[in-house]
A and B are shown apart, each in its own frame.
Chain A
């Protein structure tokens, strides 16, 4: 069974640009969540999508947005990039998002801002 796939694995951008990251969940999983991981803040929840609707949102500015398609694939967009956006962005999928269901993570996209 294929796991969660994130593309690209590495990305270099400059300040002010925008970026789109992609996540393909495990087949049959309808919930997709995004997390940001930095050395200073650790792993922080960005948002969660279920059946193409944003169901949960973390404490991040509006520059961070996402969407989910009918096949459950998800994209995350960051506009007007800042140096502090350099991080590992992780996507996780689960069956339906109920609290006791495990989340399965991809290996992330490492974003570097110059």
Chain B
């Protein structure tokens, strides 16, 4: 699986937008960009995924660079409940490739 690079940690104030960056310079044309997050004492939670176009859902937005070598997860208004480790993962879209290769992720701290 192609590798991703994320900052180890980020901080945000509550109610502010948060932009979590991810670099994936070796991404291939068939790789989807997935984001998961893991809250304390819980299993990872799917957040969002995309291929080429920007994506929005109820949890977040995903902005993908035109060359696809980087992407940004956007939390529009951070809350204390968003404090978690966020993982950016590339997944091959080749039939049966279903494993997730987790990196170290970005630990997001949200303060009042």
Chain A residues whose CB sits within 8 angstroms of the CB of B30 once the complex forms = 99
A45 / chain B contacts, CB cutoff of 8 Å:
99-101
State A55–B30 Cα separation when bound (angstroms). 20
Which secondary structure dominates where chain A touches chain B? strand
What's the tally of chain B residues with a CB closer than 8 Å to chain A? 26
> Shortest distance in angstroms between A5's beta carbon and chain B's nearest beta carbon?
11
Cβ of A12 under 8 Å from chain B: no
Q: Are B43 and A33 in contact (CB under 8 A)?
A: no
Does chain B have a CB within 8 A of A21?
no
Number of A-B residue pairs, CB cutoff 8 Å, is 72
Choose one: B46, B96, B101; the contact of A97 (CB below 8 Å).
B96
Enumerate chain A interface residues (CB-CB to B < 8 A). 4, 31, 33, 35, 42-45, 48, 50, 55-56, 58, 90, 92, 94, 97-108
Which residues of B line the A interface, CB within 8 A? Answer: 30, 32, 34, 41-46, 49, 51, 87, 91-104
- Residues of B within 8 Å of A42, CB to CB, are 102-104
Contact residues of B: prevailing secondary structure? loop
CB closest chain-A residue, reference B43: A105
Contacting residue for B43 out of A50, A94, A100, A106, CB 8 A: A106
- Contact status of A105 and B44, CB under 8 A, knowing A55-B96, A99-B91: yes
Q: Does the CB pair B98–A99 fall under 8 Å?
A: yes
Complex CA gap A56/B97 in Å reads 8
Question: Are A90 and B98 neighbours in the complex by a CB distance under 8 Å?
Answer: no
CA distance A90 to B38 in the complex (A): 12
Q: Looking at the complex, which one of B42, B91, B92, B94 makes contact with A107 (CB distance below 8 Å)? A: B42
Measured between alpha carbons, how far is A42 from B101 in the docked complex, in Å? 10
